[in-house]
Structure 1
Amino acid sequence: MSEAAVRLAIFAGLFAVLAACEYFVPRRELKPLKARRWFTNWTIVLIDSLLVRLLFKTAAVGGALWATEHNVGLFNMVDVPYWLAFLVSFAVLDFAVWLSHLASHKIPVFWRIHRMHHSDVDIDVSTAIRFHPIEIILSMIWKYAVVVALGAPATSVLVFEIVLNGGAMFNHSNFKLPLWLDRWLRLVIVTPDMHRVHHSTLRRETDSNYGFNLSVWDRMFKTYIDQPEHGHEGMTIGIEEWQDERPAGLVWTLGVPFRSQR
């Protein structure tokens, strides 16, 4: 199977499993907009995927293969054990995604684009695929640059991309984990309860818990918040000014980067 086919099969399987989990064991009661939201979010990911394939041909794995072929990047010039290059590349890529997420909140022009993701008035597994095409393109350029600079092994990049996508779907899901399991898991990875805080309308909470996979970065850089101020059932998801049906519409959602906001 090709790299794209492997990623697609794993993505579809995980999405189906998590959708079933959050349907049967929901954490929060969702608003009656699910069908419109899912249509919009799925249409957006189809647009994103098409653009990535048109502009980049392959995912970041292609950058790793190019770097190896041309002997570019740290691990293509320094002789280290493969396992070490694999683990360091995985960790650095995870930090790079955390850092770019932080930048998307702190740099105004990037926030205008990224807030489309936050405009979803509910958070469930479909929110994980709700990213503006402009943000996807910028993200791919950033990951390509990091992969090539590292000379990351292609297998490491492929595993990272699969884990990142799976982790994003997991921690955006409306799946109610047992609290004891959440406490243990979040010591290593970002759980749904941990990431849900990040989607709060409260600015202090939105500016926290930036991780998509490993939870260590938020603890290390003091951006970690354990629980939302109003509790998971009482907190408000999304952006305060847009608490209505508009964020469920496709055209409105794609226009978010060009809309004014207080």
Structure 2
Amino acid sequence: MATQIESVESIRLIIFIAVFAVMALWEFLAPRRPLSSSKAPRWGSNLGLVVLNNVMLRLIVPLGMVGVAYVAQASGWGLFNAVEAPYWLEVLFSVILLDLVIYLQHVTFHLVPLLWRFHLVHHADLDIDVTTGLRFHTIEILISLGIKAAAIVLLGVPPVAVVTFEVLLNSTAMFNHSNIQLPLGIDAVLRWLVVTPDMHRVHHSWHKRETNSNYGFNLPWWDRLFRTYRDQPQDGHLGMTIGLKQIRDEQRAERLHWMLALPFVSKSTNATERKED
């Protein structure tokens, strides 16, 4: 099992690097918005956080979520291990249900003050580009790991579905946070199938009602179903302000140690209770 998981992780890393490279090049050639600060310090800190998070995950759960799926499968745990269904259907529904879990998790991180303290590190970025999709506090990553592990065990998610979901989630997070220019007609069609950059950018607005919308990372349907969908930002994509109103210190926002300390020093409560200026 360990050898199989190592092979899977190698494939995931290759796909991650390829998607990141494509998005970064696309941002350079056709940016949607001008950035408010230099890329170098932001990218250094955001990517530094990615490295730190991956080291922590390796130490705590060496076999990752695929390993959890293998254990659940071998033990006969979970819904899909208890019912008879075509394998392809199990994989399809597993990916869809895991995406719903991530949507609900995202909403919860906005609503619960303690969880928001960690999630606001993601929203404290004063620009939005491909690295923003990777900028999450280490404790948020660990909490998310526990939620995903519980969902995998309860659902009995097949290992193939876990790999598929993780690759899709990472790839679409980089895609929909990217500062790329998409023709409006293509965006209008795509956002029925996947969360687009224009759709998710609304979620990074400093206006409270916009921060509390468009929670989806991969599939766009949950926002429409649960009425958290907002079509466009009130200030327009070129005029909108990215980030949080209470955190506007550019030099601090770009420092890795500040991002790690932010949940413990921030006076903010949660995204729902924040007052509109």
- What's the counterpart of residue 90 of structure 2? 85
Q: TM-score, normalised by structure 1?
A: 0.98
* Pairs aligned (count): 262
Match of 1:176 among 177, 181, 188: 181
Secondary structure of residue in 2 paired with 1:241 = coil
Point out the more displaced range, 171-180 or 51-60. 51-60
The answer to whether the 8 A contact 1:241-1:261 is kept is no
1:185 maps to 2:185: no
What whole-Å deviation, never above 9, does each CA across 1:180-210 have from its counterpart, x for those lacking one?
A: 0000000111000000000000000000000
The answer to whether the 8 A contact 1:200-1:237 is kept is yes
- What's the counterpart of residue 140 of structure 1? 145
Secondary structure of residue in 2 paired with 1:255 = helix
How many angstroms apart in 1 are the aligned matches of 2:175 and 2:64?
Answer: 21
Match of 2:107 among 85, 102, 105: 102
What whole-Å deviation, never above 9, does each CA across 1:123-170 have from its counterpart, x for those lacking one?
A: 000001100000000001100000111111110110010000000000
- What's the counterpart of residue 128 of structure 1? 133
1:249 maps to 2:248: no
Match of 1:200 among 197, 202, 205: 205
Point out the more displaced range, 249-258 or 154-163. 249-258
Shift of 1:256: 1.1
What whole-Å deviation, never above 9, does each CA across 1:107-138 have from its counterpart, x for those lacking one?
A: 10000000000000000000011000000000
Structure 2 counterparts to residues 1-262 of structure 1, below 5 A: 2-245=7-250, 246-262=252-268
Point out the more displaced range, 190-199 or 65-74. 65-74
How many angstroms apart in 1 are the aligned matches of 2:14 and 2:26?
Answer: 18
How many angstroms apart in 2 are the aligned matches of 1:6 and 1:59?
Answer: 14
How many angstroms apart in 1 are the aligned matches of 2:226 and 2:94?
Answer: 20
- What's the counterpart of residue 273 of structure 2? none
The answer to whether the 8 A contact 1:33-1:248 is kept is no
Shift of 1:33: 2.7
Shift of 1:84: 1.1
Partner amino acid, structure 1, of 2:184: L
The answer to whether the 8 A contact 1:207-1:223 is kept is yes
How many angstroms apart in 2 are the aligned matches of 1:76 and 1:95?
Answer: 20
How many angstroms apart in 2 are the aligned matches of 1:13 and 1:231?
Answer: 31
How many angstroms apart in 2 are the aligned matches of 1:223 and 1:88?
Answer: 23
Partner amino acid, structure 2, of 1:254: L
Shift of 1:213: 0.2
Q: TM-score, normalised by structure 2?
A: 0.93
How many angstroms apart in 2 are the aligned matches of 1:261 and 1:177?
Answer: 37
Secondary structure of residue in 1 paired with 2:246 = helix
**Gapped regions of structure 1 (runs ≥ 5):** none
Point out the more displaced range, 108-117 or 69-78. 69-78
